[in-house]
Amino acid sequence: RSLDKLVSQQAIPAELDRETECLAASVYFESKSEPLEGQLAVAEVVLNRAKSGGRFPPSVCSVVFQKGQFSFVRGNGFPPIARSGNHWKTAVAIAQIAMKDLWDSRASKALFFHATRVRPGWNKVRVAQLGNHVFYR
């Protein structure tokens, strides 16, 4: 079984619940051009934060809209999304896979990530580098 095949098997609903939309948007804006495993790892970071038990806000949308966490956030919304495009459909499929815990990522315990082009100097445990992102716990 491959992640690519699992993505292709996901049914994309006409309307998404808000939590799935927030998670898909985070995947779309943070990693749409990355390998699927990197996209999944971004989704898992958001989910891990929501499940962290108080360290971060308790829902996917509240994690995504937490001040200063994601540069794509504009107030309480997202920039325009090409919802008929393949990148969005893949982001929705990845969000569904992550929410249903259908695939184990090499970064499944990560709470943080950054692009490889930046050097934040974090004192955190590095979990994986997937595509152009480095993941930490």
| pLDDT tens digits in sequence order for the chain, 137 residues long | 799 999 999 999 999 999 999 999 999 999 999 999 999 999 999 999 999 998 999 999 999 999 999 999 988 889 999 999 999 999 999 999 999 999 998 998 999 999 999 999 899 999 999 999 999 99
Predicted structure pTM score: 0.95
Cα 120–Cα 64–Cα 90 angle in degrees, nearest 5 = 100
Strands (E), the chain: 112-115, 126-130, 133-136
The span from the CA of 93 to the CA of 10, in Å, is 6
